[in-house]
A and B are shown apart, each in its own frame.
Chain A
Amino acid sequence: MLTFQSVILGVLLGGLYALLAAGLTLYFGVMRVVMIAHSAFLILAAYLAWYFHRETGIDPLVSLVGTVPLFFVLGVAMQRLLISRLRAATLTMMSVLLTFAIALLIEGLLGYVFSGTQRRTQLSYSGTSLDFFGARVAVVKLIAFGLAAAALLGLYVLLKASRFGLALRATIQHREAAQLAGIDTNRVAGYGFGLGLATAAIGGTALALDTTIYPSLHWHWIGPLMAIIVVGGLGSVPGAAIAAMLLGLTQSLLQLPLGTTWAQTVFYVALFATLAFRPQGFFGGRLAQRF
């Protein structure tokens, strides 16, 4: 029974990880950018959802109507004004520095505006759960999972079925060839970055439903998320999703025999194993490349 409950919790957790990691792998795929600030944007979105709920009393999910477009525009602006100014030869390395600075800036601003006090969105349904063959499924976790599934499906359809998706995938595969085919890769890269940040808005809102948030929380998230996208194959959204699901499930199940401290190391063990035996990642296929 406990094992079944842990599987349920693991699947729900894996879904959340998949959503939180999706944007991160997209930035790397499109632009070879390591976006340390991704989790800081998640927390920013979580704070906006919490603040929206506190001020208006309306369900924090409604805040998505504002935060998704806002984050998309922010992402495009960030790519065009900052990231695109980095020299191509040192882009990956310098992007770590640049986005690290942005993460610190967001953390500092959140602390300044909302103080270091730890906040939680108080929802009437935060403790409510459904019975699922004897296991309990928390409504908030189910909503977060649903958001993740919808966002990832939307992203998949967009990448596979739209003209923009085609251009984005072409840019991921081979930038010069894409340019030769007439794609404005700079603009596509900007939109790709905006798309990644838009997933952070959704992920942050999902996080706000069921977590206590504080400005420095993002440091706890960036490590596991980076591990997930490397295991999944950098640049591959389905790879990140599969890796997230597997690692979330493994973490949840390992907690039973090993306890929380050791179960957390699963991300780093998986990271080391990936780098040692299959540096291009386990699920990325030919799109992915070495770090």
Chain B
Amino acid sequence: MDATQARLRIVAGTAIAALALAGCGGADDSDGSAADPITIGVSLPLTGDFSEPGKGVQRGYEAWAKIVNDKGGLLGRRVELKILDDQSNADRVVSDYEQLLGKDAVDLVFGPFSTRLVIPAARVAEEYGMLFVEPAGAAPQVFEQGFKNLFYAAPAVADDHYNHLADYITKMPASQRPKTVAYAAMDDPFAQGTAYGLKEKLEQAGIRTVVNEVYPPNTTDFGSIAAKIAASKADMVVGGTQYQDAVNLIVALQQLNYQPKLAAFSTAPTNPEFSKAIGAKTEGILAPTGYTEKAKFPSNVEFVEKYTAQFGTPPGEDEANAYTTGQVVAAAVAAAGCAEQGDCQRKLVDWLRANTVETVVGPLNWDEAGRPQSAHMIQQYVDGEIQIVLPESQKEAEFVFPKPNW
């Protein structure tokens, strides 16, 4: 019964989205009652390599548009999304944004998904002088291109994901805190960024690096990397990982009976599939996360409730970052009192430079290059469930140290 209802809602949601898209393609002045809608152009990878996260971002944007419209829109105008499929292709993403801004003359743009597509898209937006808030693209390269109008709508860039953990460790009494750390990172800007951000901070605090391994994304055997880490007997192991590499590495470490006092891996532990893969041996594993549906920020409570009603499942990180993008742009539009191409965009950018926005991932503000200035929460498997342990203000469970044996 419940499942049927959920499915009906999904079908209905899709139908509404399809109608909205169809509406965008037709005449713009069909809506006679209120002022013209605010049109927002987006290009997303709905097919190809990034289609899974791309569809997640699409759902986040759609949820945002629905919630805004149900409340009477922005500046009293309805918002309409115009979403094009870039097929995960960097060439398509450029022509998509050119079409949206030139031919379709949208009023605002939202960013696409993944670093590879964010950079070319941001370049087009920059040429048109558009505000460019994006939900993905945490890698350092995004912020080194000299973009003036770019803002990343998430708590932190990759290098800062572990900041709360670094603080926690460096504040521990010297006799207790880990003295040696082993790092293993995938050869990928995002994954390496997370591990090396932590490495830099721990090394500054005098905590020694005893293993520093980098492996290519196609690595299938983690036995030898695990053997190196196990032989070093490091107090702590840190993985700059995506998904399968983290799982394979953790199991390989368990097979060698390596028992660190702390174990932190990016991305994988927050995946629902993780505990199905590792089983009962997840206890104490740490991971940074930019979003949790359980976060108590007021707008998040509303988002989770309405998103779940619309799509039948609670939102994940991709959906939340897309929704955050919408919140950030909406805050700037409300404050500047305008939403169209031209001078208005300058006002939006200037306002965001100077202000903090309340979002589903907490309050956000940015530096000159668009790097958000918050940090990720740190989650840990406590009593078989992944729970927030840092920072103190958001915690659901006590930080477990040392990690129980796995």
Contact = CB atoms under 8 A, between A and B. Distances in A.
Contacts of B281: 127
Contact of A212 (B187, B231, B248): B248
Given A119-B277, A255-B224, A255-B225, A260 B215 contact: yes
B276 A127 contact: no
A189 B49 CA distance: 39
A9 B223 contact: yes
A6 B227 contact: yes
A186 interface: no
Interface string A1-33: 110011001001100000000000000000000
B247 A120 contact: yes
A264 B223 contact: no
B215 A136 contact: no
B393 interface: no
Contacts of B127: none
B228 A256 contact: yes
B213 interface: yes
Nearest to B247: A212
Interface size class of B (residues with CB under 8 A): 20 to 34
A122 B277 contact: yes
Contacts of B220: 211, 217, 220-221
Nearest to A121: B277
Interface string A104-147: 00000000000011111011101111000000101011000000
B4 interface: no
A127 B216 contact: no
Interface stretch (B251-259, B320-328, B338-346, B357-365): B251-259
A13 B215 contact: no
Contacts of A252: 223-224
A24 B277 CA distance: 30
B187 A127 contact: no
Interface in B259-316: 273, 276-279, 281
Interface string B28-48: 000000000000000000000
Interface in A150-177: none
A39 to B, nearest CB: 11
Nearest to A252: B224
A260 B219 contact: yes
B214 A259 contact: yes
Contacts of B227: 2, 5-6, 9
Interface string A241-265: 0000000000110011001110110
Given A2-B227, A127-B281, A263-B224, A141 B255 contact: yes
Contacts of A9: 223-224, 227
A6 B254 CA distance: 16
Q: Which of A1, A13, A118, A210 has the most CB of B within 10 A?
A: A118
A123 B124 CA distance: 50
A136 B257 contact: yes
Nearest to A261: B216
B228 A2 contact: yes
A214 interface: yes
A1 B231 contact: yes
Interface string B342-358: 00000000000000000
B107 to A, nearest CB: 35
Contacts of A140: 255
Contacts of B231: 1-2, 5
A126 B251 contact: yes
A118 B228 CA distance: 26
B273 to A, nearest CB: 6
A138 B255 contact: yes
A129 B219 contact: no
Given A220-B218, A259-B214, A260-B224, A136 B187 contact: no
Given A141-B255, A212-B247, A255-B225, 11 more contacts: A9-B223, A119-B273, A120-B251, A120-B276, A127-B255, A210-B251, A217-B220, A259-B213, A260-B216, A260-B219, A260-B224
- 4 closest A-B pairs by CB: A127-B254, A138-B255, A120-B277, A260-B215
27 contacts: A2-B228, A5-B227, A6-B227, A9-B224, A116-B52, A117-B273, A119-B273, A120-B247, A122-B277, A126-B254, A127-B254, A127-B255, A128-B255, A129-B256, A129-B257, A210-B251, A211-B220, A212-B244, A217-B220, A252-B223, A256-B224, A259-B214, A260-B216, A260-B219, A260-B224, A261-B215, A264-B219
Interface of A: 1-2, 5-6, 9, 12-13, 116-120, 122-124, 126-129, 136, 138, 140-141, 210-212, 214, 217, 219-221, 251-252, 255-256, 259-261, 263-264
